[in-house]
Structure 1
Amino acid sequence: MQKKFLIVDDMHQSICGLLSEIGIDADYQPQISRSELLSIIGNYEGLLIRSKTDVDQELINAAVKLEVIGRAGAGLDKIDVQYVESRGIEILNAPEGNRDALAEHAMGLLLSMLNNIIKSDAEVRNWIWDREGNRGDELSDKTIGIIGYGYMGQAFVQRLRAFDCRVLVYDKYKKGFGTKNVEEVSLAKLFDKSDILSLHIPLNEETRAWVNKDFIQNFRKDIYLLNTARGEILPTKDLLELLDSGKIKGAALDVLDKEKFDNLTEDERNQFTDLFSRKNIVFSPHVGGWTFSSYKRINEVLVGKIASHYHIMSESNKP
């Protein structure tokens, strides 16, 4: 019997065709409401999401036929992973699809931060020609501490090799990955040696607010911060205090702990107003990994994994 997959978020237009090629009936409903989703999910073997849909116990209990949940991207923070796995449902994601885009974006943010690109651009447009005030820092004499050595961390390290900087990596769950270009280190050594901290870890209960002001105070040096992971890992309130004290000299942020500006409390809005006024921060709106190429490639990776799950040969999973 043909499997039916429900797609409840906007995805590249190739998704339905790719699923059809492996014999899956795709139902594309990116505008579906929560109540509508709960009423029909019981008819599907597969569910494809991006970032809009919370896959919680209520949804899983209604999904009586569900076999596969596919996340078009890397992070699984919208999914109650433990409960889903307890129900025997397979979770598939596609970090291979956007790791290169994320790594390139991270490099762009890092270089912009170190060389005052955003600040100097704004000044020149306002007829300010300030060379000394925009003197930059070089990567080649820096030690970069990276936390997390999954797909994203590894892709970022690959780009760093061209800059001849020292690269230290800490990963709680990986061992034995050190090479001549990458030093596998303890957290203590990362604290002692790093000039720049780059985060490449998922958001979960262990990492939520983990990189807080107490964590950053462990660094021996004042540091630059790069966060292309999840904003909730470092609370904005703590970041502001660290910027005020100079412990964080500058930051490059693709993510924030609150990204839906319409839902901010007055206190949160005041914090962001303060944050956005800082000239030593470079921002982007959670677009790391979100390129024209990766938008399509994520589909190809995800459908390849779905095909492998059902032991179907496809163009995406050929050896």
Structure 2
Amino acid sequence: IDILSQVAQVDVNTGLSAAELVKIIPDYDALMIRSGTQVTKEIIEAGNLLKIIGRAGVGVDNVDVPAATRKGIVVVNSPEGNTIAAAEHAIAMMLSMSRHIPEANASVKSGKWERNRFIGVEVYKKTLGIVGLGKIGSHLAAAAKAMGMKLLAYDPFISTERAEQLGCRLVELELLMRESDYITLHIPKTPETLHLINAEVLSKMKPTARIINCARGGIIDEVALAEAIKSGQIAGAAIDVYEHEPLEADSPLRSVGQNIVLTPHLGASTAEAQVNVAIDVAEQIRDVLLGLPARSAVNIPGIYPDSIEKLKPYLQLAETLGNLVSQLAGGRVDY
């Protein structure tokens, strides 16, 4: 708020419904949100003064980015602010699942002493498959390598050279699923990744394998995952994000038993990460309101508002050409 107050009057309105936000948004030049607010096309269309929407976090799947782009509104996020927090949570989930820490903790607190019940497994010398070698996946790779794990990775946008720099062997998804002892997901939720991990993919995993999702809900088919664990097709899972949040009372994941660890979307929930992403996005909003570029725009360059209209046709041309080249070019991108 102190940063934003340098250039604007700041109103803090939390817990608004979509209808309430549509009603008040015409008065605002900027909107700053976290993951709990859905910025729909209707809200964006009503925001006639909006110059920027800032998402304090990494994912922008709660913002209708195409609608914002059509209206010339910059959408920014904080791609690095919670990198460490998310990677560390994925590791914590992997270790908690491997050593039955949640169940053991509950057992001792209930007055029991069941050492023989909680025989775990080590991650040392196990194969970790990383789906998505972005900032979070890359940091996790470094930590897992230090723990003595062997690393496989699947990422269609990463070059072989970059993967090798991180100590990963780049493979196709099917091979990764088949050879990994642990699989961790670090990809966005898109139409292409929705239910990427489905019953067919899960059937390719080892019966001793475990899967971790601290990325986005919906990447895993939750019904198929629950069935795979119950049937012994895979050994377990650790899930932090869900297709519908909060997790529904009748979710099949709740009835799996002790072979699954569930947390309430805590990937970025550290004191440090919450401060980092808030400061990062507040600074970008301040800069755009001053007519300066945003450093982490996800849809259009952070440029002067009066230049956006002139550039719109060229942005569409560039996007079309990029799609064309990506389909015609063979192999991975080298850089």
What TM-score results when the alignment is normalised by the length of structure 2? 0.79
Counterparts in 2 of 1:54 and 1:173: CA distance versus 1, 3 Å: same
Equivalence map 1:1-319=2 (5 Å): 16-21=1-6, 23-176=7-160, 177-178=162-163, 179=165, 181-219=167-205, 222-260=208-246, 264=248, 269=250, 271-275=252-256, 278-307=257-286, 309=288, 310-311=291-292
Question: Which amino acid letter does the alignment assign opposite residue 218 of structure 2?
Answer: E
Contact 1:96 1:301 in 2 (8 A): no
SS state at 2:218 partner: helix
1:19 maps to amino acid: L
Task: Name the CA shift for 1:171/1:123 in 2 (closer, same or farther; >3 Å).
Answer: same
Partners of 1:103 and 1:289 within 8 A in 2: no
Structure 1: tracts of 5 or more residues without a match = 1-15, 315-319
How far has the Cα of 1:92 moved from its partner?
A: 0.6
Which deviations, in whole Å up to 9, do the C-alpha atoms of 1:259-295 show, x marking residues without a partner?
A: 235xx4xxx61625413xx111112111111111211
1:258 positional shift: 2.4
TM-aligned CA deviation for residue 17 of structure 1: 0.5
The structure whose residues are more often strand, as a share, is 1
Asked if 1 retains the 8 angstrom alpha-carbon contact of 2:133 and 2:158, the reply is: yes
Post-superposition shift, 1:228? 0.6
Aligned in 2, Cα 1:183/1:304: closer, same or farther, shift over 3 Å? farther
- The CA deviation at 1:198 is 0.4
In structure 2, what residue type is equivalent to 1:20? S
* Distance change in 2, residues 1:158/1:20 (3 Å): farther
The residue number in structure 2 matching 1:12 is none
Measure how far apart 1:215 and its partner are. 1.7
Structure 2 CA distance for partners of 1:180 and 1:32, relative to 1, 3 Å:
closer
- TM-score w.r.t. length of structure 1: 0.83
Contact map agreement 1:194 1:221 (CA 8 A) in 2:
no
The superposition leaves residues 284-318 of structure 1 with CA deviations (integer Å, 9 ceiling, x where unpaired) of: 1111111112111111111233355442799xxxx
AA aligned opposite 1:243: I
Deviates more, 1:99-108 or 1:168-177: 168-177
Cα offset, 1:233, TM superposition? 1.4
The code of the aligned residue for 1:279 comes to Q
Q: Using the TM superposition, give the Cα deviation of residue 59 of structure 1 relative to its aligned residue in structure 2, in angstroms.
A: 1.2
What amino acid maps onto 2:210 in structure 1?
A: Y
What is the aligned residue count? 291
Q: Which moved more, 1:145-154 or 1:183-192?
A: 183-192
Q: Is the 8 A contact 1:73 1:94 kept in 2?
A: yes
CA RMSD after TM alignment: 2.3
Are the structure 2 counterparts of residues 88 and 296 from structure 1 closer, same or farther at C-alpha, using a change threshold of 3 Å?
Answer: same
Residue 74 of structure 1 deviates from its aligned partner by 1.1
Tell me if structure 2 keeps the 8 A contact 1:197–1:224: yes
Q: Would the alpha carbon gap of residues 72 and 312 (structure 1) be closer, same or farther in structure 2, given more than 3 Å must change?
A: same
C-alpha displacement of 1:125? 3.1
Change in CA separation of 1:162 and 1:76 when aligned onto 2, cut-off 3 Å: same
**What secondary structure does 1:197 align onto?**
strand
Shift of 1:161: 2.7
Match of 1:91, SS state, is strand
